[in-house]
């Protein structure tokens, strides 16, 4: 299975929006999601951003620009059903980046290892 760039894309998005501001309305989420289409039946780790001002999920992975209400996005990926989920503020994500020296996942361990 080819790996995507979701972890890097989520960090790059939030950095572009929050790097120099005093506060940041965006959080990074690392979650185990259910595959769709050819990946149906397989769960895997995924990263996306939440705009906390309006509860919008933002996914810029693999060149996409998906913006959906958080509830719809997380329902589509069965994130709540799976229940394996970590959300980080910008400050928390920055610390994880420094501590782990990579984009993620940091704390997420999926049932499939993907």
What pLDDT is attached to residue 20?
79
The model's pTM is: 0.93
Query: First CA to last CA across the chain, in angstroms?
Result: 9
User: What DSSP state is assigned to residue 27?
Assistant: E
What's CA 86's distance to the chain center, in Å?
Answer: 9
pLDDT at 1 over 60: no
CA distance 72 to 65: 16
Query: Among 36, 23, 32, which residue's Cα sits nearest to residue 76?
Result: 36
pLDDT, tens only, 19-66: 877 789 999 999 999 988 888 889 999 999 999 999 999 999 999 999
């Amino acid at each position: 299975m080819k790996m995507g760039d979701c972890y890097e894309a989520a960090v790059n998005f939030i950095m572009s929006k929050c790097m120099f501001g005093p506060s940041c309305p965006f959080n990074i989420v690392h979650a185990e999601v259910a595959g769709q289409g050819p990946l149906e039946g397989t769960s895997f780790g995924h990263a996306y951003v939440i705009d906390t001002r309006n509860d919008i999920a933002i996914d810029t992975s693999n060149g996409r620009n998906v913006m959906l209400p958080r509830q719809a996005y997380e329902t589509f990926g069965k994130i709540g059903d799976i229940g394996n989920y970590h959300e980080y503020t910008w400050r928390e994500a920055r610390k994880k980046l420094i501590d782990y020296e990579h984009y993620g996942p940091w704390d997420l361990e999926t049932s499939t290892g993907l």
